[in-house]
Structure 1
Amino acid sequence: MRSGFRVFKHKKTHLMRVSLKSAARLLVAHPVSNLSVKNFSLSQSHTLTPTLFLPLHSHRPAKTLVRIATPSFRSCGCAPMSTFQVRDRIDLSDIERSIFDRLLATLRHFHLETQLRVAGGWVRDKLLGKECYDIDIALDNMMGTEFVDKVREYLLTIGEDAQGVCVIESNPDQSKHLETARMRLFDMWIDFVNLRSEEYTENSRIPSKQRFGTAEEDAYRRDLTINSLFYNINTDSVEDFTKRGILDLKSGKIVTPLPPKATFLDDPLRVLRAIRFGARFEFTLDEDLKVAAACDDVKDALAAKISRERIGTEIDLMISGNQPVKAMTYICDLTLFWIVFSLPPEFEPAISDGCERLCISCLHTAWNLVDLLGESTFTAEQKRLALCAALFLPLRNTTYKEKKAKKIPVVNHIIRESLKRKAKDAETVLNLHQASHKFLSLFPCLASDEDVQVVDHDWMGDLVDIPVYSRVRVLTGFLLRELKDFWRVALLISTILHPIDIEDGPSQLDKRRDLFNTVENSITKLGLEKVWDVKQLINGKDVMNTLDLKGGPLVKEWLDKAMAWQLAHPSGTAEDCIEWLRETNSKRVKLQ
């Protein structure tokens, strides 16, 4: 639920606080005092703290304490309350018109009778008034590679050249049945495929026979009715062969052209695509579609037939999209969570029932905090990884063992193996989880109105040589030097873990935002906002010359001590630091 609303769930009841600016009508069904508080806390270092769960959805309707009549309620996964605006025709941009003119000129040049149809998402988005730069063209009587060769040949006759051409091979084992030819025109990549019709053996969804199909056959083989529309370039018209595409666009429904189970077994990734589009456009999932998506045959096919790279790409698109919480809630509701985010065979400690719901609650909190803090607070990449870190936050202490008996967080397995994302993504998320614990230990100092310098921490070495009044600055400085530009992301994750008293005063979410802002301001006042860019006053050679060392781990140890001194004495010079180094070493030698 976005700004203006606060939704909490306890057992099978919901409570919604509604901004008077956002709701014209408010119907109270039961007294608010009937809602009890669930004792729960994510923080390991604190006792159980009263915390309200965030909204979670199930297939069964919940008894509502408060109802509102507002279109924004769709963001909680409910049915849309009004139709969606769909255009009567497609308006082409200048570049699109130039591209299509070249393709039509190719047909005329070679006297071809080929029908050129733009398929799928481009048609859908243009009808919804959205820009789309992903153009897929379906051909009715030739292969994509054959037509691309014709286009290249025509362009040469008029003194132009295709900027790039490639072929993407089919891979039936991974439910990618069509070879795709790709070329670049007017700085846009265009994909060309043939219309297809497929036949299957009884026990396999890999096509046993493929032939050129009609546009109607191809439309029914598409994943969703809203993606089955064609724009016929030859006739400049939209074609709706399923007779449902435009209707479902207007009513906001996610439906498959053919029976959903057969559609999903054809390509199980379509389950995730249905979820992604349902969340992206805030459309409702068809009831038969939901039943099919949750059936064992489809779940087994999704786990066995689809490459983890393709699954990871879909999840990335959901997390980076406009409704990641809704997308993950759909995945959870359809009992697909542990299929998508598969775990290693053995891990410890055991994951409790309902952990996936807790993951979504953390994601929801992070999503709302990002919204409250403002889009400019985080880059797109920081926001994506913040949401990933929040989603897997309840799993941060669960580990598994490698062959070498080394314990590794299961989050690493999920990101690198289940989703096949970059090693850097996994490393960043794990670092954020670790850093959030460190930030928590600093909150009593950084979030206090008083000058508190006693820090209860277990993540940095001896600070006996650092003045007490400077220890908060030193600890915070080292933490930010580790995190660099991602320190605000770690701070965001820490606020999710921090126990919040919500009995009186502002809402839980507002308090977490205020905590973030307070700590951020404290860090700015300490002059640490870009501390990782601060050059160290002395280097390893200075340490070796001053302490008569020949290298080794002691040099790194003394460099860290020198950095701590530098953070404690921001006005100090290199000469001051070397003198401190000499005096400190002399004291330690005398004590030995």
Structure 2
Amino acid sequence: MKFTLKTATSHFFLTRFSLLRTPTVTTIPLPLLNYPLPTRTTTTTISTPSFPIYCACAPMSIATQHILQVRDKIELSDIERRIFDRLLATLRHFNLQTQLRVAGGWVRDKLLGKDCYDIDIALDNMMGTEFVDKVREYLLSIGEDAQGVCVIESNPDQSKHLETARMNLFDMWIDFVNLRSEEYTENSRIPSKQSFGTPEEDAYRRDLTINSLFYNINTGSVEDFTKRGISDLKSGRIVTPLPPKATFLDDPLRVLRAIRFGARFEFTLDEDLKVAAACGDVKDALAAKISRERIGTEVDLMISGNQPVKAMTYICDLTLFWTVFNLPPEFEPTISDGCERLCIAYLDTAWNLVHLLKESTFTDEERRLSLFAALFLPLKNTTYQVKKAKVVPVVNYIIRDSLKRKSKDAEMVLDLHRASQKFLSLIPCLASNEGLQSDDIDWMRRLINDVSAASRVRVLTGFLLRELKDLWRVALLISILLHPIDINNIEDESLQLHKRRDMFNTVESAIIKLGLNKVWEVKPLISGKDVMNVLQLKGGGPLVKEWLEKSMAWQLANPSGTSEECIDWLREANSKRVKLE
């Protein structure tokens, strides 16, 4: 369903969500007139291309802002010190002149005082496999075992361009590669030429200055060959070592990595970086050169990270939304201008609502699914046609084809969207004991005709929870996003958010009070064989399935009922059916 916003609320919506150009009429699918929308802050015009700079999460930030302290030197853990001691002993044992440098994220995180268990070591004059063989030989000479030694072959299709040697030391996996210099072809992120490089060349080929730092194991010092990695880390800036457009065209995946790290650390994206990221050439290169699996992995890391709203807002502000969340060639109805802003608005409210609720309400995986479901909520009624004229929601295409996530992810998000509509019809009854509206329960009407009015809410809720199982709280969260909130000031976002939190808690408590929390674990009182005996049927079929569902409806309406009572009810109900026929 679509409608055109023409009220005062529409002006409020357009003020916050219009892009740099303001359309005279905007149609938005699935909006709520009183939905809490993110505040638009300062709009900055940038020469070709231009885009607004604002963050959807700014007005409703629930999570605590983190102030990052950068240390002057790296403090090694006991295990890290033991690992590095073994590596240095290997150099001495074989009289090697190799410089060992830990590269990238480990150095960044250690300077920020964070634990990191991803140690990548770059070698200046030998291949990783050659050095690992030396380490293994040395360990055996001192009576220690070298565990888990393996070689990961280069695989350009999976963005693994260098052979990597890996070994396990003191229960930590260590990767060894050589320093390199790379050149790229125009239409691929696979390097056309690789060679041993200097530390400076290797640093400049990295995606960001904050990821270009080295820790020299030989000297015990941090090396900043770009001359700005530490200063950018201290000032909280996301900058590329080389000019950003050239950096992104060499490897367009770096755009998404810049966004992810900017959101994760709440750093500021460099202005030149934003211009380059939003330009047409880089967007085309991102679509053409990067596999959808790699794009999906980056998006998954953003959604699962500590600042998903900020990350998605960056994607939107840089006009990358539909490049990342690519749509099928044909779909209907037409997606309205500004729909991506509404996607982020739903994500923003879901994220803040998750933080307002008890920490134990959702597992990490449930939180991840809830955020994907919220992000794509405005697209839930948009469909495309697949083979044999089957019509499927475009959300399925985005998750399975654009992001190459698991089929199960797509199925769960679609199930959450469908279930949220069912929950919507039950929320008034569960939250305030209102009567069921007959127009809203077509999805289960056939099963409650013989159920007393007082038991219908329990029956319908029970069936819905048996369908959703442990995901029922996630579906409730999504339905709460869709449910209208009755307050006088629609611009009071904090009040709206707290009212949604209160509604979630009220409905959750009502469901638990009805004894339905683990209702999917309740075994049916009667079996298909029982139904066949009562109905005097020789085989199963749709009729048996129908009566099993009706029997479960009776069981939900009579939680203290026994198998014998259920069979008696089945006989009586079947007798009435036979007489009517």
What's the TM-score, normalizing by structure 1? Answer: 0.87
1:527 matched to 2:515? The reply is yes
Distance across 1 between alignment mates of 2:504 and 2:323: 34
1:106 CA drift (Å): 1.6
Contact preservation (8 Å) 1:82, 1:251: no
| Greater relative contact order (Cα < 8 A, sep 6+) | 2
Equivalent position of 2:561 in the other structure = 572
Pairwise CA distance, 1:187? 1.6
Matches within 5 A, 1:324-339: 324-339=308-323
* Pairing 1:396–2:385 present: no
- 1:281-430 superposed matches below 5 A: 281-430=265-414
Partner of 1:501: helix, strand, or coil? Answer: coil
Give the residue type in structure 2 aligned to 1:543.
V
Distance 1:526 1:511 in 2: 23
Selected match of 2:449 from 451, 456, 464: 464
Task: Tell me if structure 2 keeps the 8 A contact 1:9–1:52.
Answer: no
Q: CA RMSD in A?
A: 2.5
Aligned CA distance change for structure 1 residues 9 and 138 (closer, same or farther; 3 Å): farther
Q: Which residue identity lines up with residue 481 of structure 1 in the other structure?
A: R
2:546 to 544, 557, 568: 557
How many angstroms apart in 2 are the aligned matches of 1:362 and 1:326? Answer: 13
Partner secondary structure for residue 181 of structure 1: strand
| Structure 1 residue aligned with 2:224 | 240
Q: d(CA) in 1 for partners of 2:557 and 2:484?
A: 30
After superposition, residues 408-487 of structure 1 pair within 5 angstroms as 408-448=392-432, 450=433, 452-455=435-438, 456-462=440-446, 463-487=448-472
Q: Which stretch has the larger CA shift, 530-539 or 499-508? A: 499-508
Partner secondary structure for residue 211 of structure 1: strand
Q: 1:86 to 1:75 in 2, by over 3 A?
A: farther
Offset of residue 150 of structure 1: 1.8
Judged with a 3 Å threshold, the aligned counterparts in structure 2 of structure 1 residues 297 and 228 are, in CA distance, closer, same or farther, namely same
Q: What are the Cα deviations for residues 102-131 of structure 1, in whole angstroms up to 9, with x where unaligned? A: 211221222211111000000000000111
Matched residues in 2 for 1:52 and 1:86: separation?
A: 36
**Alpha-carbon separation, structure 1, partners of 2:415 and 2:247:** 40
> Matches of 1:9 and 1:215 in 2, distance apart?
53
Alignment partners' CA distance in 2, 1:577 and 1:442: 26
What is the CA–CA distance in structure 2 between the aligned matches of 1:308 and 1:237, rounded to whole Å?
A: 38
3-state secondary structure, aligned to 2:443: coil
Q: Distance in 1 between matches of 2:123 and 2:542?
A: 66
Q: CA deviation at 1:524?
A: 1.2
The amino acid that maps onto 2:558 is H
Instruction: Report the secondary structure of 2:76's partner residue.
Output: coil
Task: For structure 1, list consecutive stretches of 5 or more residues without a partner in the other structure.
Answer: 1-7, 15-37, 62-71
Counterpart among 485, 490, 495 of residue 480 in structure 2: 495
Q: Distance in 2 between matches of 1:171 and 1:75?
A: 43
Identical aligned pairs, as a percentage? Answer: 78
State the partner residue of 1:547.
Answer: 535
Residue identity matched to 1:249? L
**Conserved in 2, the CA contact under 8 Å of 1:308 and 1:420?**
yes
Mapped contact 1:115–1:139 kept (Cα < 8 A)? yes
Task: Name the CA shift for 1:107/1:332 in 2 (closer, same or farther; >3 Å).
Answer: same
Q: Separation in 1 of the partners of 2:329 and 2:121?
A: 43
Q: Secondary structure at the match of 2:387?
A: coil
Indicate if the aligned counterparts of 2:465 and 2:519 stay in contact, CA closer than 8 A. yes
Q: Secondary structure at the match of 2:322?
A: helix
Greater mean alpha carbon deviation, residues 434-443 or residues 501-510: 501-510
The Cα of 1:170 is off from its aligned counterpart by 2.8
Aligned to 1:19: none
Shift of the alpha carbon at 1:348?
0.9
Q: Which amino acid aligns with 1:582?
A: R
Q: Distance in 1 between matches of 2:217 and 2:41?
A: 43
Q: Distance in 2 between matches of 1:428 and 1:249?
A: 39
Q: Distance in 2 between matches of 1:73 and 1:56?
A: 9
Shift of 1:440: 0.3
Cα shift at 1:200: 4.8
- The alignment status of 1:184 with 2:172, answered yes or no, reads no
5+ residue gaps, structure 2, are: 1-10, 18-24, 46-56
Q: Deviations over 1:314-365 (max 9, x none)?
A: 1111001110000000000111111111111111111111111110000000
Do the aligned residues in 2 keep the contact of 1:279 with 1:324 (CA within 8 Å)? yes
Judge which range, 143-152 or 277-286, deviates more.
143-152
Q: Name whichever structure is richer in helix by fraction.
A: 2
- In the alignment, structure 1 residue 142 sits paired with structure 2 residue 130: no
Alignment of 1:97-246 (within 5 A): 97-172=81-156, 176-200=160-184, 206-246=190-230
Residue 384 of structure 1 aligns to which amino acid in structure 2? R
- C-alpha contact (below 8 Å) 1:163/1:183 kept by paired residues: yes
- The residue identity in structure 1 corresponding to 2:544 is V
Contact residue 28 and residue 337 of structure 2 kept, 8 A: no
Whole-angstrom CA distance in 1 between matches of 2:185 and 2:371: 42
Deviation at 1:508, TM superposition (A): 1.0
1:57-76 superposed matches below 5 A: 59-60=43-44
How far apart, CA to CA, are the structure 1 residues paired with 2:347 and 2:518? 28
- SS of 1:444's partner is helix
Match of 1:582 among 560, 565, 571: 571
CA 1:194–1:124 in structure 2 vs 1: closer, same or farther (change >3 Å)?
Answer: same
**Counterpart Cα distance in 1 of 2:260 and 2:467:** 35
TM-score (norm 2): 0.89
- Where 2:388 maps in the other structure, the secondary structure is coil
1:213-269 CA distance string (max 9 Å, x none)? 111111111100000000011111100111101100110000000011111112111
Instruction: Flag the 1:416–1:53 CA change in 2: closer, same or farther, 3 A.
Output: same
